Each structure stands twice: as C-alpha cells, then as structure tokens.
C-alpha cells in the first residue's frame, strides 16, 4: 500500500504536471507571480519526493534484510561505531543543506510576491468580503461590482464556481488588490492568480498580480466565514485592455441610467416595484432569508409572516437601511432609494404577507 502510494506520488504528480485538467496539481498560472509560485511548488515537491524515495528505499531494504526470520543477528554495537557517534552532526548538516536550498529559492520568490508595486499607473481594486458575497470596487474607474453565487438550477455544472457578476480585469496591467471585510474574516483565492490573502474587518491587506493571458479563472473564499462559506465563489474574467475599456464604459452607462431612474420624481406602481423587488430580493437578501422568505432560524429569521414585515413601514425601512446590531443583518443604506423601496415593497407583499403597502423612493429618502 505504502509503495503504491509512493508510486502514485512520484508517477502521477510529475507526469501530470502539465495536465491541469485532471485536477491533480495547480491549474496553469495566469500571472507572473503565480508562475514563480508554481515553480517553487514543483521544486519543493521534487525535493520532497526524492527524499521520500531515499527514506523508503532504506527502510524497505532494512525491513527485508534485517529481520529475525532470515536469521539476521542484531548488531548490538552499531550505535557505538564512529557512525553512531557522529551521525548527530552528519544528519543535521545534510538536512540543513536541503533546507537552505529550499529557503534560498523561496526567499527570492517571497520578495517578489510581497513587494507590491507602487507605480503611478497601477490599477487598484478594492475587494470587500461580505457574508456571503464579494464586492469589487474599481477605485480608478468609480465602478462597483457585486458578485454572488448562482443557484444550482441556473449554474448547472459550474455551481459554486460561477457568479452573477464576475471580476473583469485587463491583461498586461499591474493590478493591486486591497482586501478588507465588512463582517468576518474571508480570504480571496483564485489559484491562477496564486496569491491568497485574508480579508480582515477594519484592516486592509494588499496583494498584486499582472495577468498574462485571457480566460476565465475560478476560485473560492478560503477562510471559514460562517454558514454559507461554500457559496462564495470568485470568478475572474481576464480580457484584453480594449475589451476592458469597453466594459468599463458599459458599466458606467448602466450606473448613470440607474441613478437617473432612481432620482426621477416618479410614483411607481405596485407591479413595477414587485418585479424590481423580486430580482433584488433574490440576489441580495435570499442568501440568508431564503427565496421562500422562511429564513434559516435562529440565525436568519423568516420574513414571511414576521412581526417586521407585517408591522409599521418605518421600522422595516430602518432595519433595512441601518441593519441590526449584534446580528448578521448588515446595513443596506448603500442601495439607492428605488432599490430599497422595491425590496421593502416586495417583502411586504410577497409570500403570505400581502400587506398591500407600496413604498415609494421618496419614503425611503425621508427615512434615511
């Protein structure tokens, strides 16, 4: 069994180094730093494999030849020979040699990984972890992308590896990621970009990458962040710089249109708000309160038939805008008036609630 395990390691890992599709090794790196990390991973694994083979060979030789059933007589003085006297020096020196080989190479790579470029034209992306979605702020372009997992019915085989809005990044530009969190610890991990970093509430950590090929790269949150830790995929859409510029323009246009719509002095009908509200609820609220509105008590209370959704509108708006301290309910005040109005209207009329209330953007404005 052990021998089989050894063969598996030596054979499979090296053989399949280039065949990432088997999922035996890291996927093919898409950034310079990731490539260096990949190389040092292969180096240490190579050294480890060689050492393992040596140890196994010696042990199995001994197991076969130095056994009582073969009539072998134990050498009672082996530990007092010159070897026995000096091995405590010889062995550490040999191990130290291996250690220094690894540490020397690792140190060079480490400096490159840690040394985040400080150039003027670097692109900053602020990555904020939320329970349980990612927020990407393109600080240089004034764009914000909210990225959430897609339920299995819609994502199929990519379930837990697919999001609604990917992180679109250009190739050939140095990108600095600024990681932080709105609630608990998260960790941003896309193997092709290599560098994993924790998102710590109240602090900012940074990593960087320069993408060298186009493609779609998938990762997941790597720090346990509560109930739906498994539902925080990250998708990086690596595109050429031209495509990226076009994408930025598109996002800006959408943003302008949404702002115009929200500020328009219009009275919205129940049906319009319900349609908008359903979409918004299902992307932003359903992770905790569920599509059915039944929640997951005790952590996430039901909204269907709850005191809140059937109580005064003012209280309802207050909790949505300001959150509820001491619980997982975060403030949603960054949404615009129209979005909050739609969500609250939906929550008060969906399922069995049927309150018949219509909350207008103007009401939200007043409540802020």
Partner 1 sequence: MRIPEYQTPELRRKNVRLAWILGGLALFFLVTSFPFWTGIFRIVGNQAMQ
Partner 2 sequence: MSTTTLTHDEAHHHEAPKGWRRWLFSTNHKDIGTLYLLFALIMLFVGGASAMLIRMELFQPGIQLLDPDLYNNLVTNHALIMIFGAVMPAAAGLANWMIPMMIGAPDMALPRMNNLSFWILPAAATMLLLSFVVPFFPGGGTQINTGWTIYPPLSVQVGMSMDFLIFAIHLLGISSVLASINIIVTLLNMRAPGMKMLKMPMFCWTWLVTAFLLILVVPVLAGGVTMLLFDRHFGTSFFDAAGGGDPVLFQHLFWFFGHPEVYILLLPSIGVLSHVIPAFSRKPLFGYNSMVGAMIAVATIGMVVWAHHQYTIGMSLGAVTYFMIGTILISIPVGLMIFNFIATMWRGAMTFETPMLFAVGIVLMFTFGGLSGVMLAVVPADMQYHDSMFVVAHFHYVLMPGAVFGLFAGVFYWLPKWTGHMYDEKLGKLFFWTNVIGFNITFFPQHFLGLAGMPRRIVDYNVMFTEFNVISSVGAMIFGLSHLLLLYIVIKTIRGGKKAESRAWEGAKGLEWELDSPPAFHTWTVAPQIK
Q: Which residues bind partner 1 (CB under 8 A)?
A: 114, 203-206
| Residue 363, binding choice from partner 2, partner 1, none, Cβ under 5 to 8 Å by partner class | none
Comparison of 177 and 281: residue with beta carbon closer to partner 1:
177
Cβ at position 175, least distance to partner 2 in Å: 16
- 17 contributes a contact to partner 2 by CB under 8 A: no
Q: Kindly identify the residues of this chain, within the stretch 195-224, that bind partner 2 according to CB under 8 A.
A: 195-198, 200-203, 205-206, 218-224
- 107 contributes a contact to partner 2 by CB under 8 A: yes
| 135 beta partners | 128, 146
Comparison of 61 and 203: residue with beta carbon closer to partner 1:
203
- For residue 54 the two structure tokens come to 């040596």
* Residues recorded for the chain: 368
- 133 contributes a contact to partner 2 by CB under 8 A: no
Q: Could you tell me which residues come within 8 angstroms of residue 262 by beta carbon, excluding any fewer than 6 positions away?
A: 336, 337, 338, 339, 361
| x/- track of binding to partner 2 for residues 233-272 (CB under 8 A) | ----------------------------------------
Alpha-carbon distances, residue 42 vs 7, 22, 47 (angstroms): 17, 17, 9
Tell which one of 7, 72, 269, 366 touches partner 2 (CB under 8 A): 72
Comparison of 40 and 313: residue with beta carbon closer to partner 2:
40
Phi, psi of 135 (to 5 degrees): -120, 125
DSSP-derived secondary structure letter, 267: P
| x/- track of binding to partner 2 for residues 110-129 (CB under 8 A) | xx-xxx--------------
Cβ at position 174, least distance to partner 2 in Å: 18
Q: What distance in Å separates the CA atoms of residue 155 and residue 43, rounded to the nearest whole number?
A: 37
Which of these, 234, 192, 220, 217, lies nearest to 38 by C-alpha position? Answer: 192
Cβ at position 207, least distance to partner 1 in Å: 10
Which of these, 362, 364, 367, 345, lies nearest to 354 by C-alpha position? Answer: 345
- 68 contributes a contact to partner 2 by CB under 8 A: yes
Tell which one of 11, 92, 311, 333 touches partner 2 (CB under 8 A): 92
Strand order from edge to edge, sheet including 233-239: 167-170, 233-239, 215-220
- 57 contributes a contact to partner 2 by CB under 8 A: no
| DSSP H or E stretch at residue 92 | helix 82-114
Q: What distance in Å separates the CA atoms of residue 329 and residue 325, rounded to the nearest whole number?
A: 7
- 294 contributes a contact to partner 2 by CB under 8 A: no
């Amino acid at each position: 069994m052990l021998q089989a395990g050894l063969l598996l390691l030596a054979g499979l890992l090296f053989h399949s180094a280039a065949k990432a599709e088997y999922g035996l090794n890291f996927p093919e790196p898409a950034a310079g730093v990731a490539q260096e990390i990949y190389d040092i991973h292969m180096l240490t694994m190579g050294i480890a494999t060689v050492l393992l083979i040596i140890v196994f060979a010696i042990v199995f030789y001994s197991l076969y030849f130095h056994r009582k059933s073969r009539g072998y007589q134990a050498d009672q003085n082996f530990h007092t020979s010159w070897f026995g006297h000096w091995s405590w020096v010889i062995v550490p020196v040999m191990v130290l040699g291996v250690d220094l080989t690894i540490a020397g190479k690792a140190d060079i790579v480490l400096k490159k990984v840690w040394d985040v470029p400080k150039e003027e034209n670097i692109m900053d992306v602020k990555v904020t972890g939320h329970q349980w979605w990612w927020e990407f702020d393109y600080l240089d372009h004034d764009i914000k992308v909210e990225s959430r997992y897609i339920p299995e019915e819609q994502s199929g085989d990519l379930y837990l590896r697919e999001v609604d809005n990917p992180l679109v990044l250009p190739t050939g530009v140095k990108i600095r990621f600024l990681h932080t969190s709105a609630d608990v610890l998260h960790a941003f991990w896309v193997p092709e970009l290599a560098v994993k970093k924790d998102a710590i509430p109240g602090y900012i950590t940074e990593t960087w990458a320069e993408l060298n090929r186009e493609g779609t790269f998938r990762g997941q949150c790597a720090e346990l962040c509560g109930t739906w830790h498994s539902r925080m995929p990250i998708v990086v859409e690596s595109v050429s710089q031209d495509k990226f510029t076009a994408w930025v323009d598109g996002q800006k246009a959408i943003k302008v249109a949404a702002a115009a719509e929200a500020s328009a002095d219009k009275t919205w009908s129940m049906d319009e708000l319900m349609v908008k509200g359903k979409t918004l609820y299902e992307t932003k609220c359903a992770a905790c309160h569920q599509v059915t509105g039944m929640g997951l008590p005790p952590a996430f209370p039901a909204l269907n038939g709850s005191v809140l959704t059937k109580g005064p509108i003012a209280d309802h708006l207050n909790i949505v805008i300001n959150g509820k301290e001491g619980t997982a309910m975060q403030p949603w005040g960054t949404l615009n008036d129209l979005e909050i109005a739609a969500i609250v209207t939906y929550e008060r009329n969906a399922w069995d609630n049927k309150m018949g209330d219509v909350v207008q953007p103007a009401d939200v404005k007043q409540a802020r």
